[in-house]
């Protein structure tokens, strides 16, 4: 039976009710009958502090300039993002209730959650975050090979944190194990921020996440990178080798975008897709995103929809690997 995530706790229930009420009553109105006439709610399915939250809060004021109404960002974390995703499916497809999305919107279907990509309208991409493996600054693992050797010596003893089982970062960890011939132990958390903090505190052996999300802890001297999961070395991290250079041919990048419920009006979709595209290309947006070791990427609605379906296929294969273990 499919699991539809339940709202956990009074605070989340109250927040959802407040958001629905605000979206119905609206804020700014133009009175000309053209979309948008009132405030837009943009939900972030994770806790504050990760790359998804950063992108939403950076793009919101730029969308306001394009659309002429307030774009109110709200966090609704929980259950690998499915609380927010399920909330969105219950909203009217009028363009006033939107959500930031990550890879999970395509992969949760493989884990018996009631989250189906067919239930959403994909409006545009915001960014991609090349992955990285990072350890606590005083970790005994000086290189990726050190980590691999330790995992081979004691299978299942090396732990890694991820933003949830089947998440965009847990999945490539399955590929890592398969390619390197090792067995690791996943310690899942509810989102990137607590997952990375666990590695920074030494509660797990390493973090596999977006390099940009790990950056604050690396810059602060709490963590250091062992390798990046990009095809080539990142311009912002020229001294960090790629996994491929180190003998593990594995690439993965998270992606973040914006979506609405299914069956949205094509004119509204076009207006939002165009606005997102312009915002992502704004120098102000690029400065913030690139400064966090993330890559601004603009894909409009149709192209973004195809991209999500392609990525879901790849991650589905990784999830199959995990289920076979």
Among residues 124, 12, 89, which one has the least CA distance to residue 262?
89
d(CA 211, CA 192) in angstroms, rounded, equals 11
d(CA 244, CA 50) in angstroms, rounded, equals 26
How open is the CA angle 245-298-81, to the nearest 5 degrees?
80
pLDDT at site 32: 53
Q: How much is the average pLDDT of 134-139?
A: 98
Residue 87 and residue 78 in contact, taking contact as beta carbons nearer than 8 Å: no
Q: Does residue 167 have a pLDDT over 60?
A: yes
Query: Which one-letter DSSP state was computed for residue 111?
Result: G
Residue 236 located in a structural domain: no
102 in the same domain as 135: no
Q: How much is the average pLDDT of 16-45?
A: 64
- Which SS3 state, helix, strand or coil, does residue 194 take? helix
Among residues 12, 59, 261, 234, which one has the least CA distance to residue 130?
234
d(CA 38, CA 31) in angstroms, rounded, equals 10
pLDDT at site 212: 83
Is 295 or 132 the better-scoring residue by pLDDT? Answer: 132
Q: How much is the average pLDDT of 49-67?
A: 93
25 in the same domain as 170: no
d(CA 123, CA 71) in angstroms, rounded, equals 15
306 in the same domain as 282: yes
pLDDT at site 253: 84
d(CA 91, CA 262) in angstroms, rounded, equals 10
Residue 51: pLDDT band with limits 50, 70, 90: confident
| Residue 192 domain boundaries | 130-228
Q: How much is the average pLDDT of 261-277?
A: 98
pTM for the whole structure: 0.71
* Total domains, the chain: 2
CATH number, domain with residue 99: 3.40.190.150
pLDDT at site 137: 98
Residue 235 located in a structural domain: no
CA of 140: how far to CAs of 20, 135, 224, 249, in Å?
49, 9, 12, 24
Q: Which two tokens stand for residue 310?
A: 């392609």
pLDDT at site 7: 29
pLDDT at site 323: 72
Q: Does residue 45 have a pLDDT over 50?
A: yes
């Amino acid at each position: 039976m499919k699991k539809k995530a339940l709202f956990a706790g009074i605070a989340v229930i109250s927040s959802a009710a407040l958001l629905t009420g605000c979206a119905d009553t609206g804020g700014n109105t133009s009175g000309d009958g053209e979309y948008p006439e009132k405030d837009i709610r943009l939900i972030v399915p994770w806790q504050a502090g990760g790359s998804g939250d950063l992108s939403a809060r950076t793009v919101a004021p730029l969308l306001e300039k394009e659309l002429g109404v307030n774009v109110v960002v709200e966090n609704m974390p929980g259950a690998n993002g499915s609380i927010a995703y399920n909330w969105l499916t219950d909203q009217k497809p009028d363009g006033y209730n939107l959500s930031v999305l990550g890879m999970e919107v395509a992969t949760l279907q493989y884990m018996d959650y009631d989250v189906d990509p067919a239930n959403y309208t994909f409006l545009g991409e915001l960014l991609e975050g090349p992955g990285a493996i990072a350890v606590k600054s005083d970790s005994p693992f000086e290189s990726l090979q050190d980590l691999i050797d330790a995992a081979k010596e004691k299978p299942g003893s090396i732990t890694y944190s991820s933003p949830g089982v089947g998440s965009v970062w847990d999945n490539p960890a399955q590929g890592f194990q398969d390619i390197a011939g090792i067995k690791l132990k996943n310690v899942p958390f509810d989102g990137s921020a607590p997952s990375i903090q666990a590695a920074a505190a030494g509660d797990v052996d390493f973090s596999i996440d977006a390099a940009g999300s790990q950056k604050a802890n690396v810059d602060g001297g709490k963590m250091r990178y062992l390798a990046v999961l990009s095809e080539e070395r990142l311009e912002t991290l020229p001294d960090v080798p790629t996994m491929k250079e180190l003998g593990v041919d594995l690439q993965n990048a998270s992606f973040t975008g914006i979506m609405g419920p299914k069956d949205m009006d094509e004119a509204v979709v076009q207006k939002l897709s165009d606005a997102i595209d312009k915002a992502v290309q704004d120098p102000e947006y690029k400065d913030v995103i690139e400064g966090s070791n993330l890559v601004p990427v603009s894909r409009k609605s149709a192209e973004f929809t195809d991209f999500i379906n392609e990525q879901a296929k790849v991650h589905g294969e990784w999830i199959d690997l995990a289920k076979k273990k």
